[in-house]
Structure 1
């Protein structure tokens, strides 16, 4: 078993419960860590035998581009697509951070973290 990490994917998106958040948008950071059997790829040197981090980045950018109220909802959608589109992934962890959230204080970011194991 091995891990592939894609850290600090920067996205400008329109998530939030407030009208201003969805109208104006804000900066987000997304981290993805997946666990998969990477032994075949370590011997074959073929992209088809591993987790393509370009594919992960693509999934994150597409899902972040769809406005949602909750970061939990976005993180769950990202994990769902990873499991659907990258069959060798056994576990996934997704962190979605909103930079400078509008919560009436000096807060750098808020982060939601979801972890899931593939069913079956």
Structure 2
């Protein structure tokens, strides 16, 4: 399976459950592994034959910033829903979101979710 890889996308947003966290912006780091067929783009060398990486990054950042989620799990779900809805060529997505330097003893804490288009259809009622 072909993949598009985006690593370390930094999203500055309001995120967290505690009152002090709701008053500041904090960084989230996103890694995306997007499975899609890249054969046509590999052959044609044309942008319109692939997924636009800049658009993926912009949409992912925007949906998180607008939602200002309490949980990074919810942030991940928002990104998954947005990307599956926007790009019909996506077969599956693995998203990892890390919240750096929030716990003194850890470089970061985070979560990873992996969903397939068939999972997405079931969870959204499509």
Q: Same fold, TM exceeding 0.5?
A: yes
Q: Distance in 1 between matches of 2:54 and 2:62?
A: 12
Segments of structure 1 that go 5 or more residues without pairing to the other structure are none
Deviation at 1:108, TM superposition (A): 1.4
What corresponds to 1:53 in structure 2?
53
Q: Distance in 2 between matches of 1:91 and 1:12?
A: 25
Deviating above 6 A after TM superposition, structure 1's stretches of 4 or more consecutive aligned residues are none
What corresponds to 2:112 in structure 1?
113
TM-score, length-normalised on structure 2?
Answer: 0.87
What corresponds to 1:31 in structure 2?
31
1:21 equivalenced with 2:40 (yes/no): no
Segments of structure 2 that go 5 or more residues without pairing to the other structure are 122-126
Would you tell me which structure has more helix in proportion to its own residues? Answer: 2
Q: Distance in 2 between matches of 1:82 and 1:24?
A: 27
| Residues matched between the structures, number | 118
Question: Equivalent residue of 2:35, what SS?
Answer: strand
TM-score, length-normalised on structure 1?
Answer: 0.91
Would you tell me which structure has more strand in proportion to its own residues? Answer: 1
Query: How much is the aligned-residue C-alpha RMSD, in angstroms?
Result: 1.3
What corresponds to 1:85 in structure 2?
86
